[in-house]
């Protein structure tokens, strides 16, 4: 590792920091210190700098990773994929865990008949494969990126070591898992108890303000129905002057009327 190959750097850092070194400590030291070991492992330095730059690009990711031991950071790599190039299959096992830094990832269940149901849309700061890494089981759902993504990749074994060595990170992991369970429960409630129009209505009320918009594709990710049914309901809502559709962009223009429509169906 870089740490072992450069006793000069180790000496400098130990002189300035008596506590266990974390990301937030190491990278706030001037970059010229790294020149001490640049000639030792140039490639490792470039990789580590890329990892740090990626971590710094998202505040949620930085908060997750800032107390990670240097030995763990050295084992991370940055991965980038174009839309639908990052895929993990339900029922398969994989050797790595990921942290989503940029982009969106769809989590879904797929049947042999071709029918699928979306469980969640992951945003930056969320883990991918952490549950499977901890319990050493195949993926319980499939994964595909619905936009270009940037990911931090770490092996399952190193991820498990990280959770044991970094208690602050372990607490963040517990919080994230609890949040996922909560959102999954709310989504299951919508799928099981509400009509297609109610599901779409709740989606629009939750995700849109008067200044924002959503696309048809994004709506299909949030409801348990086909694109054909989504288009049918959106057409009805547009005719009722509840939404406005312009070049595929859906904007909510009458929130109160939509709320009343949802209540009528109860």
The count of residues in the chain is: 266
The helix/strand/coil state of 252 is strand
Query: Could you give the strand order of the β-sheet that contains 77-81, starting from the edge strand earlier in sequence?
Result: 77-81, 149-155, 96-102, 127-128
Tell me how far apart the alpha carbons of residues 135 and 216 are, in angstroms, rounded to a whole number: 36
CATH number at 239 reads: 1.10.10.10
Answer yes or no: is pLDDT of 142 > 50. Answer: yes
Tell me how far apart the alpha carbons of residues 223 and 236 are, in angstroms, rounded to a whole number: 17
Answer yes or no: is pLDDT of 16 > 50. Answer: no
Which burial class, exposed, middle or buried, applies to 105 when counting CB atoms under 10 A from its CB (0-12, 13-18, 19+)? Answer: buried
Q: Does 101 share its domain with 203?
A: no
Q: Does 166 share its domain with 200?
A: no
3-state SS, one letter per residue, for 204-216: HHHHCCCCCCEEH
pLDDT, mean of residues 135-162: 96
In this prediction the pTM is 0.76
171, 189, 207 — which closes off a domain? 189
What is the tens place of the pLDDT at every residue in 197-221?
Answer: 999 999 999 888 767 889 988 898 8
pLDDT at position 32 is 43
pLDDT, mean of residues 239-265: 91
Q: Does 255 share its domain with 148?
A: no
Q: Does 180 share its domain with 236?
A: no
Give the CA count within 13 Å in the CB-facing half-sphere of 217: 5
Answer yes or no: is pLDDT of 27 > 90. Answer: no
Answer yes or no: is pLDDT of 2 > 90. Answer: no
- Distance between alpha carbon 4 and the CA centroid of its chain, in Å? 33
Domain count, the chain: 2
Q: Does 151 share its domain with 208?
A: no
If one compares 12 and 247, the residue with the highest pLDDT of the two is 247
pLDDT, mean of residues 172-201: 90
Mean pLDDT over the full length of the chain: 84
CA distances from 200 to 17, 99, 107, 206 (A): 54, 29, 19, 10
189, 212, 237 — which closes off a domain? 189
pLDDT, mean of residues 86-102: 97
CATH number at 151 reads: 2.60.120.10
pLDDT at position 20 is 47
Answer yes or no: is pLDDT of 110 > 90. Answer: no
Q: Which of 36-45, 74-83, 198-207, 220-229 has the lowest mean pLDDT?
A: 36-45
Q: Does 33 share its domain with 160?
A: yes
pLDDT, mean of residues 131-143: 95
Answer yes or no: is pLDDT of 58 > 50. Answer: yes
Tokens of 48: 């580590």
């Amino acid at each position: 590792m870089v740490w072992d190959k450069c006793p000069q750097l180790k000496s400098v850092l130990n002189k300035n920091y008596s506590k266990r070194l974390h990301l937030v400590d190491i990278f706030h030291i001037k970059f010229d210190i790294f020149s001490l070991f640049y000639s030792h492992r140039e490639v490792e330095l470039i990789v580590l700098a890329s990892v740090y730059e990626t971590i710094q690009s998202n505040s949620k990711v930085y908060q997750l990773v800032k107390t990670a031991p240097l030995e763990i950071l050295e084992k991370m790599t940055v991965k980038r994929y174009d839309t639908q190039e990052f895929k993990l299959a339900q029922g398969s096992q994989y050797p790595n865990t990921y942290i989503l830094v940029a982009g969106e990832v769809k989590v879904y269940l797929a049947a042999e008949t071709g029918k699928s149901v979306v469980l969640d849309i992951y945003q930056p700061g969320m883990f991918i494969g952490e549950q499977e890494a901890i319990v050493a089981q195949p993926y319980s759902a499939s994964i595909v990126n619905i936009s270009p993504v940037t990911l931090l990749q770490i092996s399952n074994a190193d991820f498990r070591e990280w959770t044991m060595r970094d208690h602050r990170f372990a607490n963040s992991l517990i919080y994230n898992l609890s949040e996922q369970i909560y959102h999954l429960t709310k989504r299951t409630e919508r799928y099981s108890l509400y009509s297609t129009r109610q599901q779409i209505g709740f989606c629009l009320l939750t995700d849109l303000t008067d200044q924002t918009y959503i696309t048809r594709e994004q709506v299909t990710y949030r409801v348990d129905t086909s694109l054909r049914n989504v288009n049918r309901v959106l057409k009805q809502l547009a005719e009722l002057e509840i939404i406005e559709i312009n070049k595929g962009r859906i904007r909510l223009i009458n929130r109160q009327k939509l709320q009343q429509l949802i209540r009528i169906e109860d």
